[in-house]
Amino acid sequence: MTVDPRLRVLYLLAVAVGIFFLHPLWQVAAVLGLQMVLWLAVGLPPRRLVRQTFKLWGFALFLVLSYALARSDEGAPEQWVRWHWLKINVAGALTGATMVLRVMAVVLASQVARAGDVRAIAAGLAKLRVPRMVAAPIDAVLALLGGAGGGGGGGGGHRHEQPEGPREGFLTAVKRLGRGDVAPLIGRLESQIARAEKHVATQFGRHPWVRDVALIAGISLTMLGFKAIKILPSIPFAPGYKLVILTPFYILASLLTRTRVGATLAGLTMGTVAFLMGDGRYGIFEIAKHVAPGVVSDLGVPLLVRGGRQPGPLSWSLLGTLMAVGRMATIFCIVLTVQAPRVAYALLLPGLAFQCTFGALSGYVSYQLVRAAGPLGAPRSAGGKDEEAALRRAEGKT
């Protein structure tokens, strides 16, 4: 049975919003149980359900312990027991468990909503009249990840462009970057933009906004490729190390697109596709983690390049640090959403320090990449306003 993609989007929104209006543990558990039943009903494999649940164990342990070891808010029930030398707030631990089940319900609903058609959410967004500059890049990336669209990379349904990262090792790539050699990054980006532009032009013709969509989709595809690199997997002591390479691509999105929210759209596209492909721990909440650096980039880049200035590595490092703070702020927001006690925020501070460190280190890569990326597209110039006006008029007609 074919499900209208609009219903998939609305279902996901209903679960994501409605679950936080339920407070008793049994009600939240019932919604989670329903998602598990639907998971099996739509044909998703049980093993994948176990794997998806296991991804959340670190977050679950962190949240439950935060509640179990802290005093409850004024008026909230408390039930302390002593286990050896440790005092545990049992009522608080149950509250933490309720919060974890809420997040799990949304994560599973995220997968149920897209079951059977990875592009259904993008199609649903388009049918719900979401702006084309939002829906079109998401659809293009999903299509090109599946081998569709031809254009520059192994057609015939072959999954040649599945994001598996560059052929050379990560350490080799780091050494290249240390010498200022960003040619492999530029080459990969050019290839992805060309594929995206051909695909989008085939779908929508040669409208003024097609180039921006292609840039956003190409940058998102490139970022997804590097995000998928698996070195030092699951290292809890150095989270965010890929920001060294990912952060500069947000900056390129701000510089190369005509729209003033290019990096925001690139983050939204990357985060949405990653979420739809089952990546990350937090389901739909993952999207915000990728959007926040884009918002900071779109606000900061115009200030740095105003008047034709060419920022140096130090300026880009400062912006990279602010983007890392924005990314980490979304994690704090997730913790805030589940109403974690104050001690939880203190436990997140080491992660913030690592994120900021890698964000700062990205400045040198950003400097080199911006210098080499000129031919890929024209940054906003004095004539940019006229071109943006034409872009808005074209969007209004389509």
Q: What are 177-186's pLDDT values in tens digits?
A: 666 777 888 8
86: which strand partners?
Answer: 83
In this structure, which long-range contacts are made by residues 298-301, counting pairs with CB atoms below 8 Å and at least 24 apart in sequence? 298/254, 298/260, 298/261, 298/262, 298/263, 298/264, 301/251, 301/254, 301/255, 301/263
- Gap between the Cα atoms of 183 and 326, Å rounded: 29
Structure confidence at residue 315 (pLDDT): 94
* Encoded tokens for 17: 């919003």
Structure confidence by residue, pLDDT tens digits, 199-231? 888 877 777 788 899 999 999 988 887 765 543
Give residue 267's pLDDT.
Answer: 93
pLDDT of 243 over the 50 cut:
yes
Strand ranges for 217-266 from DSSP E: none
The values of phi and psi at residue 87, to 5°, are: -100, 130
Residue 82 pLDDT level (bands cut at 50, 70, 90):
low
Among the residue ranges 10-24, 52-66, 70-84, the one predicted with the least confidence is: 70-84
Quote the radius of gyration of the chain (alpha carbons, Å): 22
Model pTM above 0.75: no
pLDDT digits (tens, 9 = 90+) for 304-353: 999 888 899 999 999 999 999 988 887 777 677 666 666 666 667 777 88
Q: Which of 60-64, 153-157, 173-177, 243-247 has the lowest mean pLDDT?
A: 153-157
Mean pLDDT over 51-58 rounds to 76
Give the 3-state secondary structure of residue 146. coil
pLDDT band for 382, please (50, 70, 90 cuts). Answer: very low
- Work out whether the CA dihedral 310, 220, 300, 388 comes out positive or negative: positive
Question: Tokens in use for 300?
Answer: 């900061």
User: 73 pLDDT exceeds 90?
Assistant: no
The DSSP code sequence of 271-310 is HHHHHHTT-SSSGGGHHHHHHHHHHHHHHHHHHHSGGG--
Give 104-120 pLDDT, tens digit per residue: 887 788 778 878 776 67
Give every CB contact of residue 58 below 8 A, 6+ residues apart in sequence. Answer: 236, 281
Strand partners, 89: 80
- Report pLDDT for 264: 95
The mean pLDDT of the chain is: 75
Question: Looking at residue 153, what is its pLDDT?
Answer: 35
C-alpha–C-alpha distance, residues 156 and 277, integer Å: 21
Amino acid (1-letter code) at residue 55: K
Instruction: Write down the pLDDT at residue 320.
Output: 94
Between residues 359 and 121, which one has the greater pLDDT?
Answer: 359
Number of other CB atoms surrounding residue 247 within 10 Å: 31
pLDDT above 60 (res 158): no
Residues 204 and 210 sit within 8 Å (Cβ to Cβ): yes
pLDDT at 231: 38
Q: How confident is the model at residue 375 (pLDDT cuts 50, 70, 90)?
A: low
**Parallel, antiparallel, or unpaired for β 80-83 and 86-89?**
antiparallel
Separation between Cα atoms, residue 307 and residue 382, nearest integer Å = 9
At residue 318, the pLDDT reads 96
Lowest mean pLDDT segment, chosen from 127-131, 155-159, 357-361: 155-159
pLDDT in tens, 147-156: 444 333 333 3
